[in-house]
Amino acid sequence: MQNNMEDICLKHDNGSDLVFRGRLFSESSWYDEEHDMLTRQKLYLADNNDQVYYIVRSSGQERSRHAYRLTVQGDNCIIHNGQSSMTLQFDMLMLAVRGLCGLDADATPSLAMVERMLKAANA
């Protein structure tokens, strides 16, 4: 794992590149044969303990690039895409993630466990 912080610029389809100082925390990629789509995602940790999520999808000549910066302030999460921001209560964000993933509350970690994982990632 990379420990040194560096200047990072993520290209974004909305025209607002996301620029920050941080390090790569994890990455993955997969190919969907049914839709002929390669998806790559990266999670960065910024020097101020924010998390930055970057997802690039490509198929043939088409490509989409999206970056989101997540800032936790108390019980709220601020999600910024380079142009606009959205603020959600942390438990509402976790509820939305569970719903989008098709998971019920029993199949997902507790809010306290998610908070511990986020704190560990920022250590």
The strand pairing partners of 40, in sequence order, are 29, 56
C-alpha span between 24 and 3 (Å, rounded): 8
C-alpha span between 120 and 42 (Å, rounded): 17
pLDDT value at residue 89: 84
pLDDT > 70: percent of the chain: 75
Residue 21 contacts residue 5 (beta carbons within 8 Å): yes
pLDDT value at residue 117: 58
The whole model's pTM is what? 0.73
Give the tens place of pLDDT for each residue, 47-95. 998 999 999 999 988 899 999 999 988 888 898 888 888 888 877 777 7
Local structure of 37: helix, strand or coil: strand
